[in-house]
Structure 1
Amino acid sequence: MSKTGGFNRTLKVTVGVVDILIYHLSFVISFLIRYKGTIPTFNYSAYQSVLPYIMIAFLIINIFSGIYILYNKKFVDMFSISLISQVMMSFFIMAMTFFGRWFAFPRTIVFINLIVSTLLLTLWRFIILEFYLKKSGTSRVMIVGSMDSCREAVRNFKSSKTRQYKVTSVAFNNYYENIVNNIDNIDVFYLLDFHSIEEENKMLSYLTVNNKRVFLGTNFGNILRINNRIMNIDDESLIAISKFEIAPENDAIKRMIDIVISLIMLIVTSPIMLIAAILIKITSRGPIFYKQIRITKGQKEFEILKFRSMRIDAEELSGPVLAQAEDPRVTKVGKYLRSLRIDELPQLFNVLKGDMSLIGPRPERPYFVDQFKEQNPYYYLRHTVRAGITGYAQVYGKYSTDFNSKLKFDLLYIKDYSLMMDIQILFQTVKILFDKVSSKGLEEELTNEEIFEDINIYE
């Protein structure tokens, strides 16, 4: 059994280079199709003159789309990401032909290339994914922790897309002894809980000496260890814990990006917003827009703006209720507005105003914020940054994820923030618009017997 953690750097570079060659080949084929077996020198020279810019953009879009991270991919993901990436590339090339009049590039080539490149790249990536799955094999995982934490972890593993990791054992008690007894039968140890710091050090030392892969749960203590500075004072080496905040210089750049992108998106999506407004008005009574008090940076209250997707009497009897995957209060038009995230578009005005960012923790209502703060003392930390239209939790979590799990995503985002992370989340947001399964999450509640079926239990 291979214990490879993923593609190594050399192989990733090789795959990227082959991607570029295939993309170039797709253009050549598109020229041959368009001009029936011949390639006009004038048009092809125009393509060659901008080839470096096209390939740089192609590589950047591929990297940020996450196409080279394969451990959690299925074949359908390779197709959907390839298609979305090629659509974005087509828009980029169309923009080049519009603004660069010197670029004598037939627009029909762009359309033909969209089809040809998507097919060729998808086929190539199917081959790569199949090779990756065979090369990496399936790693056996033991989850170590309390019954409740193990139950949720096993549930998530079983519902995930990954075929690289399979939970074969769980240990509810006597953690160290159970690890020692299973050291030769397990490839990855996922440690969720410790009875003491001494036990934690003992387990980690033992697993390190035995060269075993270790996963740690995202509890608050482990999140604190992320993105910290190492300092030296005379002979003393220490780790300086970073705060849960975005550095002022990064925050200023983030704000400028928010303004520019939200302005562009308002212009581009204005026809969609107009159609949505008309449909809401003619299909249900009530206002087009929906305003609600939410909490953002510094626990400041603001009015969030959305297209109304629910009946106007949605909470008259129930009071404040969190939205659900299948919410009976949603109107027929609202169902489609939500599934395509069109109801969120008016929040671009909140971004321009400065109450929100494009990327950040989703803003909650004061009613629920007060409840969550009572249940989790670290909940206030998510308000050290502006609330966002989309975020780390929305991209990598599920629609039905509880607030504690979403909080972990939010704290990870703040603690390990970078501008590159924001770009990656934007790209992934486009992808999940087409991934309805992941946005819904699990609909059914499984019993302990079903969750721990075919898994060795140690106590």
Structure 2
Amino acid sequence: MHKSGGFDRTKKIISGLIDIGIYHYAIYLSFWLRYDGMIPFFNYYAYEEARIYIMLAFTLFNILFGMYILYNKSRIDFVYLTVLVQFIMTLAIMVFTFYGRWFTFPRSVLGISFIISTILLLIWRFIVFKIYEKVDGTKKVMVVGSVEACKKAIYNFGNAKNKRHTITIAVTDNFYENVKNNMNQVDIVYLSENLKDKIKIYDLMIREDKKIFLQTSFENMVMVNPNIMNIEDESLIEVSNFRISPENDLIKRLIDFVVALLMIIVTSPIMIVTAVLVKATSKGPVFYKQIRITKNQKEFGILKFRTMGATAEKDSGPVLATSNDTRVTPIGKHLRSLRIDELPQLFNVLLGDMSLVGPRPERPFFVDQFKELNPYYYLRHNVRAGITGYAQVYGKYATDFNSKLNFDLLYIKKYSLVLDIKIMVQTIKILFDKVSSKGVEDEEMDIKLKPIPDTITILE
């Protein structure tokens, strides 16, 4: 029988506690270097008074940035995440020491500790990641489904930046028999479609203590976050709807209003400079207003800094933007890569047409098309559209509308204030990520045309 184990939660907690110890040591070492081993009491006392808040913030930021979720990480991820978190911590310590009136905490120590803590934490995290790879290793996956579904799974797994999971077997027919006869050769079975034999395969995998991956079909997503009810001697599963509860929606709206107002004030210098650059580098208005769809199918005018030529869709009509869109102006490419073009949407949030986090709003022209192609597309309009969202953080730029819809529906099903905070924090992280340069059409064509690699055993 397969034994579960690997890099479990206990090991992650131990790793996190060692992180805290290393960060504390880095700050102490910074004091020691700054004062040549003779640390003044009143300077170090300021750190001791603020230490509990510093370490809590350090732990919180590392969790929110997903530092301890290892399966989807590469070594370069640890580099830029560690640098980013340590930079944010430097700013956070300045805030703590100001509001706590611990003014004797030297700013020079902050600069030294930023460098030392980043280096020490990176060394430790590389060691942890190496142990993780050795303990958990690469998991062999058997993908089960039609040829098209298997090809898509193989493409996605093969393009993942972390080769944590490798597809070694593709089952395209006689599903139960092939899974049963070959399950000892793999660690995970991925059902890429809803199959008639799925219950038999579930039972087989559970008996053998094997992991099962399921695709995010509507049937599977309906069962996310169910409520369990007990009526007399019977237990029932109440399926939760694709909606955010009224009380959570009210709290979300209040937070949106306050945060959007503060962000408008903080980013106003950036918006003024951007407005000048847009006006000076291309003909046309500074702002671009376009009709989009938000909660309850309501239309509204979304505000963005213009990043395309003023006549971009004059001849073509409505066209979905792609990652290498030739209509984008030179300055527009930079505004898009840094998401600065979306800052005016803070005014949409203030007015209540949008939220900080939610499904990205689409134009009525494309909404009508997507509804015809997917009968569940309307469900994403049960919540306000967002500046950033689950699909933008965890998907790719070139992801097709069905995959983005799955992300959006999972967001609604899993909604919590903590999830919103995580997505906002992760949005900062993706500014440093390289996105695929392929458009949606190019990617789909690659999947259809490419045969299943010879390294993967095909069972029919």
Mapped contact 2:139–2:166 kept (Cα < 8 A):
yes
Pairwise CA distance, 1:32: 2.1
Mapped contact 1:308–1:334 kept (Cα < 8 A):
yes
2:173 maps to 173
Candidates 328, 335, 340, aligned match of 2:333: 335
Pairwise CA distance, 1:92: 1.1
Corresponding letter in the other structure for 1:157: F
2:115 maps to 115
1:24 maps to 24
Q: Which segment is superposed worse, 159-168 or 449-458? A: 449-458
Tell me the TM-score normalised to structure 1 length: 0.96
2:208 maps to 210
Indicate the SS of the match to 2:396. coil
Cα gap change, 1:171/1:72 in structure 2, threshold over 3 Å: closer, same or farther? same
1:374 maps to 372
Q: Report the Cα distance in structure 2 between the residues aligned to 1:363 and 1:114, rounded to whole angstroms.
A: 39
Indicate the SS of the match to 2:293. strand
Indicate the SS of the match to 1:25. helix
Tell me the TM-score normalised to structure 2 length: 0.96
Provide the aligned C-alpha RMSD in A: 1.7
Pairwise CA distance, 1:309: 0.4
Which residues in structure 2 correspond to 1:23-422 (within 5 Å)?
23-196=23-196, 199-422=197-420
Cα gap change, 1:272/1:5 in structure 2, threshold over 3 Å: closer, same or farther? farther
Corresponding letter in the other structure for 1:341: R
Cα gap change, 1:111/1:265 in structure 2, threshold over 3 Å: closer, same or farther? farther
Cα gap change, 1:63/1:195 in structure 2, threshold over 3 Å: closer, same or farther? closer
Deviation track 1:40-64 (CA, whole Å, cap 9, x = no partner) reads 1111001100100110011011111
Cα gap change, 1:438/1:421 in structure 2, threshold over 3 Å: closer, same or farther? farther
Deviation track 1:223-277 (CA, whole Å, cap 9, x = no partner) reads 0010001111112221101010011111111112212222222222222212111
Q: Report the Cα distance in structure 1 between the residues aligned to 2:198 and 2:205, rounded to whole angstroms.
A: 11
Q: Report the Cα distance in structure 2 between the residues aligned to 1:248 and 1:123, rounded to whole angstroms.
A: 46
Pairwise CA distance, 1:123: 1.3
Mapped contact 2:309–2:329 kept (Cα < 8 A):
yes
Deviation track 1:71-96 (CA, whole Å, cap 9, x = no partner) reads 11100000111111111111111122
Indicate the SS of the match to 1:249. helix
Pairwise CA distance, 1:188: 0.4
2:458 maps to 457
Q: Report the Cα distance in structure 2 between the residues aligned to 1:231 and 1:352, rounded to whole angstroms.
A: 39
Mapped contact 2:53–2:96 kept (Cα < 8 A):
no
Q: Report the Cα distance in structure 2 between the residues aligned to 1:296 and 1:265, rounded to whole angstroms.
A: 22
Deviation track 1:357-382 (CA, whole Å, cap 9, x = no partner) reads 11100000000000000110000000
Q: Report the Cα distance in structure 2 between the residues aligned to 1:20 and 1:441, rounded to whole angstroms.
A: 42
Indicate the SS of the match to 1:184. helix
Pairwise CA distance, 1:436: 1.7
Mapped contact 1:225–1:241 kept (Cα < 8 A):
yes
Q: Report the Cα distance in structure 1 between the residues aligned to 2:203 and 2:137, rounded to whole angstroms.
A: 26
Q: Report the Cα distance in structure 2 between the residues aligned to 1:176 and 1:162, rounded to whole angstroms.
A: 30
Pairwise CA distance, 1:104: 2.3
Indicate the SS of the match to 1:437. coil
Indicate the SS of the match to 1:16. helix
- The count of residues paired between Structure 1 and Structure 2 equals 456
Corresponding letter in the other structure for 1:360: G
Deviation track 1:262-304 (CA, whole Å, cap 9, x = no partner) reads 2222222222212111111111111111100000000100110
Q: Report the Cα distance in structure 2 between the residues aligned to 1:86 and 1:440, rounded to whole angstroms.
A: 33
Q: Report the Cα distance in structure 2 between the residues aligned to 1:6 and 1:294, rounded to whole angstroms.
A: 46
Indicate the SS of the match to 1:312. coil
Q: Report the Cα distance in structure 2 between the residues aligned to 1:62 and 1:392, rounded to whole angstroms.
A: 19
Q: Report the Cα distance in structure 2 between the residues aligned to 1:414 and 1:406, rounded to whole angstroms.
A: 13
Deviation track 1:131-168 (CA, whole Å, cap 9, x = no partner) reads 10111011110100111111111100000022221000
Which 4+ stretches in 1 moved above 6 angstroms? Answer: 439-443
Corresponding letter in the other structure for 2:331: V
Q: Report the Cα distance in structure 2 between the residues aligned to 1:214 and 1:9, rounded to whole angstroms.
A: 20
Indicate the SS of the match to 1:305. strand
Q: Report the Cα distance in structure 1 between the residues aligned to 2:438 and 2:30, rounded to whole angstroms.
A: 38
Mapped contact 2:50–2:96 kept (Cα < 8 A):
no
Pairwise CA distance, 1:98: 3.1
Q: Report the Cα distance in structure 1 between the residues aligned to 2:97 and 2:265, rounded to whole angstroms.
A: 20
Cα gap change, 1:6/1:63 in structure 2, threshold over 3 Å: closer, same or farther? farther
Indicate the SS of the match to 1:140. strand
Mapped contact 1:361–1:391 kept (Cα < 8 A):
yes
Q: Report the Cα distance in structure 2 between the residues aligned to 1:410 and 1:272, rounded to whole angstroms.
A: 30
Q: Report the Cα distance in structure 2 between the residues aligned to 1:140 and 1:384, rounded to whole angstroms.
A: 38
Pairwise CA distance, 1:97: 2.9
Mapped contact 2:275–2:305 kept (Cα < 8 A):
yes
Q: Which segment is superposed worse, 258-267 or 225-234? A: 258-267
Q: Report the Cα distance in structure 2 between the residues aligned to 1:369 and 1:320, rounded to whole angstroms.
A: 12
Q: Identity of aligned pairs, percent?
A: 57
Mapped contact 2:7–2:135 kept (Cα < 8 A):
no
